[in-house]
C-alpha cells in the first residue's frame, strides 16, 4: 500500500493510484506522467510509471501511452473514482 509520511512520522495511508485517478478525473484531456507525479508529490517519475501507471493501465483504470507519456482516465477508472473515492471535503 502506498503511503504519505508527514514530517512527524505518522503514517497516513493513501494510494498514489487513487491520487492520480482523482487528478485525472478532474482534468480535461490527458496529462503527462511527469505532470501527475509532480502534482501528487511522487519523487521519482520513472518509478511512478512502473509502480503506479503501468499496473493501473493493466487493470484498465487508465490509459497510459508510454511512447508519448500521455495518461487519460478510462471509463472504468471514472466509475472507480465515483464509487470508491470521496470527492468532497
What is the tens place of the pLDDT at every residue in 25-84?
Answer: 999 999 999 999 999 999 999 999 999 999 999 999 999 999 999 999 999 999 999 998
* CA distances to 21, 22, 59, 81, 82 from 88, in Å: 15, 11, 26, 12, 11
pTM for the model: 0.82
Strand partners, 65: 70
18 pLDDT higher than 60: yes
In this structure, whether the domain defined by 3-84 belongs to CATH 1.10.10.10 is answered with yes
- β strands within the chain, DSSP E: 3-4, 12-13, 31-32, 62-65, 70-73
Amino acid at each position: 500500500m502506498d503511503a504519505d509520511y508527514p514530517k512527524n512520522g505518522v503514517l497516513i495511508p493513501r494510494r498514489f493510484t487513487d491520487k492520480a485517478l482523482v487528478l485525472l478525473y478532474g482534468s480535461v484531456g490527458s496529462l503527462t506522467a511527469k505532470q501527475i507525479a509532480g502534482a501528487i508529490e511522487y519523487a521519482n517519475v520513472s518509478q511512478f510509471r512502473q509502480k503506479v501507471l503501468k499496473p493501473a493501465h493493466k487493470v484498465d483504470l487508465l490509459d497510459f501511452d508510454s511512447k508519448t507519456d500521455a495518461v487519460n482516465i478510462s471509463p472504468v477508472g471514472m466509475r472507480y473514482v465515483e464509487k470508491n473515492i470521496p470527492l468532497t471535503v
